[in-house]
Amino acid sequence: MNGARAFGAWIAIAAVPIATACGPKHISGPVPPGQDVIVLLQDPDTKSIGAAGVSNPLGSVDLAAEHDAALVSSGRPPVLTKLSPADVQRMFGDALSALPPPPRRFTLFFRFESDELTDQSQALIPQILAVVKEHAVQDVVVIGHTDTMGTQQANYGLGLKRAMMVRNLLISAGLNGSTIEATSVGELDPIVKTPDETPEPRNRRVDIAVR
């Protein structure tokens, strides 16, 4: 499986009308016992679709668009189908409603070669705190980043310094430090791809995920 997350649910369906992904042929009526349905849905976090491959010893199908689905059973190759939104809700509604909400994400930017926030990013702190406090169980991940100025080793340290500064800022505002994970990737995950030794303000950042 590659690309964005595919939501796959292995469920025995009692009866469902299903249309094939291409052509006018339809598969309708009861789905035989022991047949499973896997459907590709939009990732609620990234809003992308991605792709997935479904296979058994007799064959395989590729799921490439939202609501593409595969019917899988022993003794037959997988069958590619297309589900309607109503079909998805009927089959998988309970499972989907049990999923946790997607993380809320924030990005804070820093001054050059510094762990000092820009004025615009400093102004976001109250909003971040409010979102964290909405969660009954708080889980915050803070990841520090840099541009490509300097060595990778130095930039890892600078990214970590930025992440720890934000973590300490959140703790000072009243959050429990045990719920905040801080780490660094240095210059290895830039928003803007640049050559080495290139100053880029958008890469000097901390990404925050509130889950």
- Rounded CA separation 140/103 (Å): 9
The three-state secondary structure class of 105 is strand
pLDDT at 35: 82
Q: How much is the mean pLDDT over the chain? A: 83
pLDDT band, very low/low/confident/very high, at 19 (cuts 50, 70, 90)? very low
Q: Which residue has the higher pLDDT, 41 or 201?
A: 201
pLDDT band, very low/low/confident/very high, at 137 (cuts 50, 70, 90)? confident
Q: Which residue has the tokens 């490509």?
A: 148
pLDDT in tens, 73-127: 888 899 998 988 888 888 888 888 877 778 899 999 999 989 999 999 999 999 9
Would you state the torsion angle of the CA atoms of residues 110, 114, 119, 123, taken in this order, to the nearest 10 degrees?
Answer: 70
Q: Which residue has the tokens 């970590």?
A: 160
Contact predicate 57/34, CB 8 Å: no
pLDDT band, very low/low/confident/very high, at 59 (cuts 50, 70, 90)? very high
